[in-house]
């Protein structure tokens, strides 16, 4: 239905990442738990968590109440003052963080967390270059988009800013002609070390990696890869920044994706799930070694809203609710007992599913037009009629998917019920039949 909201949006709202003239945004009237309703009253199961951030579902009453209470007490305060909500949020985040990382610098979202992590690494090392992988997303601000390894960087590449890209491990589409995870791991690490050596180790401040790349395709690294990255960083005096903006706060069935591995980074960036997106917040979790760089030397960076009380109160309530309702454990169970087995069974049934990857409530289906050549169902960086039909079929089946190029991601709220999860999977199953029709026989 075209209503006032829609008309005003089309007249005045300039949307992200889009050619404005062709947009037809869905008007969302309300949302609750794992469902949302458009202005025609159509109910959709949210299998996207929007942009993978509503980790506790929509409108969780406890978090809504915490934000309301904080608004009634103290809506805002400048970052130089101490504030109860901010102190508690930092304490809870530091407690959850792996290893000895225990200081938190709060930002407004993920991209500025990345900007600040890179700035800290550069000042700490006195070096300038930063290495990041192809098939990654680190945010839309200038350094973050330069670091990004997806097509959104291309039109923004107005100067590399010391950024060098390398290939990370991705066995299904291996750059290293590997046939096993162990081979992929070993060759990807050798490639990274060669890149470091050829770029000049003394010029490299940091390596930034999404612990599990998210938008780029949910590729959990093989066992040993992150441990190898840690060893290379130690050998060459490089700071390791783990970007947990999408993978963090329970998405993987652990608090951080890093908890699945045996390696501790120097800096962690987070955002999204920390407040379930109810109020924007991001940040950098800092190791004592890097924090010490700024003990006596001022850190040259800040934000008016760093640790904003409404966001901090949302973070405290989100984390406590996730703990009390055992959402992280639930996400792990969903991955092991529902999404893993059922998506793999779908891959058997549907010719268009090339590979299923994921963990917890964080899954990707790599859709192909040809299983033998792995030709993607939409080209890298683009869409296709086939993908558009699959997405439309998901929605027709009452499910809102997260789609990127040739992939459908299954990334619902961590507290989605098993019945709701199965409802979404049934819609996906039917949609994949539409995809099968596009497979070359």
* Closer CB to ligand PLP, 151 or 385, in the complex: 151
* Closer CB to ligand PLP, 218 or 386, in the complex: 218
* Closer CB to ligand PLP, 48 or 125, in the complex: 48
Counting contacts by CB under 6 A, is residue 130 touching ligand PLP?
no
| Separation of alpha carbons 146 and 157, rounded Å | 6
3-class state of residue 267 by DSSP: strand
Rounded to the nearest whole angstrom, what is the least distance from the CB of residue 282 to ligand PLP in the complex? 6
Query: Where would I find the H helices in 74-175?
Result: 84-96, 110-125, 142-147
In the block, residue with structure tokens 């055992």:
326
Residues in binding contact with ligand PLP, number by CB under 6 A: 16
Rounded to the nearest whole angstrom, what is the least distance from the CB of residue 109 to ligand PLP in the complex? 3
Instruction: Name the closest residue to ligand PLP (Cβ).
Output: 110
Rounded to the nearest whole angstrom, what is the least distance from the CB of residue 397 to ligand PLP in the complex? 26
Q: With CB under 6 A as the contact rule, which of the stretches 28-36, 208-216, 320-328, 383-391 interacts with ligand PLP?
A: 208-216
| Separation of alpha carbons 73 and 84, rounded Å | 11
Counting contacts by CB under 6 A, is residue 210 touching ligand PLP?
yes
* Closer CB to ligand PLP, 51 or 94, in the complex: 51
Counting contacts by CB under 6 A, is residue 214 touching ligand PLP?
yes
Counting contacts by CB under 6 A, is residue 245 touching ligand PLP?
yes
| Separation of alpha carbons 1 and 166, rounded Å | 46
Rounded to the nearest whole angstrom, what is the least distance from the CB of residue 181 to ligand PLP in the complex? 22
HSE, side-chain direction, 13 A CA sphere, residue 249: 31
Rounded to the nearest whole angstrom, what is the least distance from the CB of residue 364 to ligand PLP in the complex? 13
- Cα distances (angstroms) measured from residue 131 to each of 111, 186, 258: 16, 18, 19
Counting contacts by CB under 6 A, is residue 215 touching ligand PLP?
yes
* Closer CB to ligand PLP, 111 or 267, in the complex: 111
Q: Residue 19: left if φ>0, alpha if ψ -120 to 50, beta else—which one?
A: beta
3-class state of residue 281 by DSSP: coil
Q: With CB under 6 A as the contact rule, which of the stretches 135-143, 300-308, 380-388, 418-426 interacts with ligand PLP?
A: 135-143
* Closer CB to ligand PLP, 210 or 266, in the complex: 210
DSSP state of 377: S
Residues paired with 51 in a beta bridge:
none
Considering only residues 47 through 66, tell me which ones interact with ligand PLP, judged by CB under 6 A: 51
List 33, 139, 250, 360, residue binding ligand PLP (CB under 6 A)? 139
| Separation of alpha carbons 368 and 354, rounded Å | 6
Which helix (H) or strand (E) segment holds residue 44: the answer is strand 43-46
Non-local CB neighbours of 110 within 8 Å, separated by 6+ positions: 138, 139, 144, 243, 245, 246, 269, 270, 271, 272, 282
User: Do residues 367 and 377 lie in contact, with contact meaning Cβ atoms separated by under 8 Å?
Assistant: yes
| Separation of alpha carbons 204 and 235, rounded Å | 12
Counting contacts by CB under 6 A, is residue 277 touching ligand PLP?
no
* Closer CB to ligand PLP, 279 or 393, in the complex: 279
List 33, 57, 109, 360, residue binding ligand PLP (CB under 6 A)? 109
Rounded to the nearest whole angstrom, what is the least distance from the CB of residue 384 to ligand PLP in the complex? 23
User: Do residues 400 and 394 lie in contact, with contact meaning Cβ atoms separated by under 8 Å?
Assistant: yes
Considering only residues 281 through 300, tell me which ones interact with ligand PLP, judged by CB under 6 A: 282
List 122, 124, 138, 308, residue binding ligand PLP (CB under 6 A)? 138
Non-local CB neighbours of 61 within 8 Å, separated by 6+ positions: none
Considering only residues 1 through 40, tell me which ones interact with ligand PLP, judged by CB under 6 A: none
Query: Where would I find the H helices in 97-219?
Result: 110-125, 142-147, 181-199
Rounded to the nearest whole angstrom, what is the least distance from the CB of residue 350 to ligand PLP in the complex? 27
CB atoms closer than 10 angstroms to residue 81? 8
Rounded to the nearest whole angstrom, what is the least distance from the CB of residue 16 to ligand PLP in the complex? 9
Counting contacts by CB under 6 A, is residue 271 touching ligand PLP?
yes
List 85, 121, 207, 246, residue binding ligand PLP (CB under 6 A)? 246
User: Do residues 54 and 276 lie in contact, with contact meaning Cβ atoms separated by under 8 Å?
Assistant: yes
Counting contacts by CB under 6 A, is residue 243 touching ligand PLP?
yes
- Cα distances (angstroms) measured from residue 213 to each of 103, 150, 216, 243, 266: 24, 11, 6, 9, 18
* Closer CB to ligand PLP, 352 or 411, in the complex: 411
* Closer CB to ligand PLP, 39 or 141, in the complex: 141
Binding site for ligand PLP (CB under 6 A): 51, 109-111, 114, 137-139, 210, 214-215, 243, 245-246, 271, 282
């Amino acid at each position: 239905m075209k209503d006032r909201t829609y008309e005003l949006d089309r007249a005045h709202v300039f949307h992200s990442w889009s050619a404005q003239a062709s947009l037809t945004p869905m008007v969302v009237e309300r949302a609750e738990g794992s469902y949302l309703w458009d202005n025609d009253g159509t109910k959709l199961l949210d299998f996207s968590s929007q942009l993978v951030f509503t980790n506790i579902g929509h409108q969780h009453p406890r978090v809504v109440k915490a934000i309301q209470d904080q608004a009634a007490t103290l809506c805002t305060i400048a970052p130089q003052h101490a504030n109860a909500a901010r102190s508690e949020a930092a304490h809870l985040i530091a407690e959850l963080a792996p290893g000895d990382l225990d200081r938190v610098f709060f930002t407004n979202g993920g991209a500025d967390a990345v900007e600040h992590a890179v700035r800290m690494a550069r000042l700490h090392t006195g070096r300038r270059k930063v290495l990041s992988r192809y098939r990654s997303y680190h945010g839309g601000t200038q350094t973050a988009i330069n670091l990004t390894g997806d097509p959104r960087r291309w039109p923004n590449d107005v100067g590399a800013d010391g950024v060098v890209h390398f290939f990370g491990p991705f066995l299904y589409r291996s750059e290293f002609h590997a046939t096993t995870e162990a081979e992929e791991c070993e060759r990807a690490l050798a490639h990274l070390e060669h890149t470091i050596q050829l770029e000049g180790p003394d010029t490299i401040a940091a390596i930034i990696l999404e612990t599990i790349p998210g938008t780029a395709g949910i590729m959990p690294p093989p066992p040993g890869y992150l441990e190898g990255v840690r060893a290379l960083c130690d050998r060459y005096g490089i700071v390791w920044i783990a970007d947990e903006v999408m993978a963090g706060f329970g998405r993987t069935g652990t608090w951080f994706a890093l908890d699945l591995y045996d390696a501790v980074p120097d800096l962690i960036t987070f955002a999204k799930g920390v407040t379930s997106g109810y109020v924007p917040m991001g940040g950098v979790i800092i190791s004592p070694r890097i924090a010490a760089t700024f003990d006596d030397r001022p850190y040259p960076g800040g934000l008016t809203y760093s640790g904003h009380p409404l966001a901090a109160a949302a973070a405290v309530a989100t984390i406590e609710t996730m703990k009390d309702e055992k959402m992280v454990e639930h996400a792990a169970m969903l991955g092991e007992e529902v999404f893993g087995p059922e998506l793999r069974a779908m891959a058997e049934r549907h010719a268009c599913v090339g590979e299923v990857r994921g963990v917890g409530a964080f899954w990707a289906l790599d859709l192909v037009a040809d299983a033998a050549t792995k030709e993607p169902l939409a080209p890298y960086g683009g869409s296709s009629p086939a993908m558009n039909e699959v997405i439309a079929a998901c929605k027709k089946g009452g499910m809102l998917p997260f789609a990127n190029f040739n992939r459908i991601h299954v990334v619902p709220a961590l507290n989605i019920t098993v019945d709701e999860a199965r409802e979404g999977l049934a819609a996906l199953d039917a949609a994949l039949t539409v995809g099968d029709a596009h497979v070359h026989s």
